[in-house]
């Protein structure tokens, strides 16, 4: 796939290849702007195009790097095994470290939505000297969300429990009618009107590729297994993030109704956690781009610790 570059004026498209611990991987990314480096990470079942209403407005203030996570969009899938390590947030975070070091950066800031927020969290934990500060969008910590699972959460986020089923059950069921599955999954509080038709086509193109669907399932299988093991090891060692952390969530989403994001993240952070709810659902970058630009500028550019 090739993304419609008219969505990202001022950006150029690149591919970074390296030998990861789980095998060779190609990371597709966009880059543009001038200033301190800011890494933007997308979530499930999307790709880097989620940032199209935000990234062009940041060009005068940041060097903006926007990759597809491994196995998503135009980044290559990797071979996984029963440990699911290849799609652990540790492995996915290492991709970002390798990319940013390849680009010559010894430290950077990160903003991640959904799965990208989980990668950002692991990045901050595993690489405290590299990540200066980070922002996560519409998530509570993975460990907390599994520990506090209840009927409301399991009903609203049923895909968390569907996608972790053994291969090839979810892969085959999604593959039977990929676009239908995608539509029913993404038609949430904001409705379908929030998605640019060109972005929607990117998401449809991706979900029709069995290798990408498998990668997405592996991402969730990792979250329910090896990611929890990594999280438990950090809890046992009292290892918490030390960077300033900003948390934003949709007031009409599951995170707002089932969790307490500030409290949840403060339990995993040595630094003060700030944040607020936005009047939207889950897909914050596409539902509230203007507020996101303001939040990014305040937190990353103006060095503000917001209330």
Residues with a known catalytic role:
114, 282
Q: What is the dihedral of CA 123, 233, 235, 111, to 10 degrees?
A: 10
Q: What value, to the nearest 5°, has the Cα angle with vertex 27 and ends 24 and 29? A: 165
190 Cβ contact partners less than 8 Å away, ≥ 6 residues apart: 252, 280, 281, 282, 283, 286, 287
**Cα 18 to Cα 265: distance, rounded to the nearest angstrom:** 32
Output the CA torsion sign for 224, 215, 53, 301.
positive
3-state secondary structure the chain: CCCCHHHCCCCEEEEEEEEECCEEEEEEEEEEECCCEEEEECCCCCCHHHHCCCHHHHCCCCEEEEECCCCCCCCCCCCCCCCCHHHCHHHHHHHHHHHHHHCCCCCEEEEEECHHHHHHHHHHHHCCCCEEEEEEECCCCHHHHHHCCCHHHHHHCCHHHHCCCCCCHHHHHHHHCHHHHHHHHHCCCCCHHHCCHHHHHHHHHHHCCHHHHHHHHHHHHHHCCHHHHHHHHHHHCCCCECCCEEEEEECCCHHHHHCCHHHHHHCCECCCEEEEEECCCCCHHHHCHHHHHHHHHHHHHCCCCCC
């Amino acid at each position: 796939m090739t993304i419609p570059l008219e969505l990202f004026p001022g950006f150029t498209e690149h591919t970074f290849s390296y030998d990861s611990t789980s095998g060779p991987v190609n990371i597709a990314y966009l880059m543009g702007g001038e200033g301190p480096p800011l890494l933007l990470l997308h979530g499930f079942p999307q790709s880097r195009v989620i940032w199209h209403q935000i990234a062009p407005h940041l060009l005068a203030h940041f060097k903006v790097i926007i990759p597809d996570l491994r196995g998503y969009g135009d980044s290559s899938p990797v071979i996984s095994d029963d440990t699911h390590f290849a799609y652990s947030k540790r492995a996915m975070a290492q991709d970002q470290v390798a990319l940013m070091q390849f680009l010559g950066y010894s430290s950077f800031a990160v903003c991640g939505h959904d799965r990208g927020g989980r990668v950002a969290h692991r990045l901050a934990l595993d690489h405290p000297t590299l990540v200066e500060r980070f922002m996560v969008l519409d998530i509570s910590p993975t460990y907390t969300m599994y520990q506090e699972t209840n009927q409301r959460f399991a009903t609203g986020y049923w895909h968390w429990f569907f996608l972790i089923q053994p291969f090839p059950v979810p892969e085959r069921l999604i593959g039977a009618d990929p676009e239908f599955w995608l539509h029913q999954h993404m038609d949430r509080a904001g409705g379908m009107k929030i998605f640019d038709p060109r972005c929607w086509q990117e998401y449809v193109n991706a979900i029709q590729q069995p290798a990408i669907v498998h990668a997405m399932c592996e991402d969730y299988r990792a979250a329910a297994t090896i990611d929890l093991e990594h999280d438990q090891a950090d809890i046992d060692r009292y290892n918490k993030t030390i960077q300033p952390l900003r948390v934003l969530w949709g007031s009409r989403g599951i995170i707002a109704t089932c969790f307490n994001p500030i409290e949840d993240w403060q339990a995993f952070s040595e630094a003060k956690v700030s944040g607020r709810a936005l009047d939207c659902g889950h897909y914050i970058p596409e539902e509230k781009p203007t507020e996101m630009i303001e939040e990014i500028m305040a937190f990353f550019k103006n060095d503000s610790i917001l209330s």
